[in-house]
Amino acid sequence: MLLNARPDVTAAQAAYRSWGYRKVGEAHPWEGAALHDVMVLDLGIAGRSGR
């Protein structure tokens, strides 16, 4: 799961980290937008055999 989060909103950043998200980069999600942290959450799906 991927999300963009504003780095200046510390309460949201703390919540995302407590839920297991980790920062993997930075991006401007649309033209003129403030710089956002790109965060991912590993859902543990990769590598499963479907069982």
Res 47: pLDDT: 58
Indicate whether 50 pLDDT > 60.
no
Is residue 26 within 8 Å of residue 35, measured between CB atoms? yes
Is residue 4 within 8 Å of residue 35, measured between CB atoms? no
**Which tens digits make up the pLDDT trace of 14-26?**
999 999 999 999 9
**How many Å from the N-terminal Cα to the C-terminal Cα in the chain?**
21
The residue ranges of every structural domain in the chain are 2-40
26-44 per-residue burial string, b: 16 or more CB within 10 A, e: under 16: eeeeeeeeeebbebeeeee
**Which tens digits make up the pLDDT trace of 2-48?**
999 999 999 999 999 999 999 999 999 999 999 999 999 999 876 55
In this prediction the pTM is: 0.79
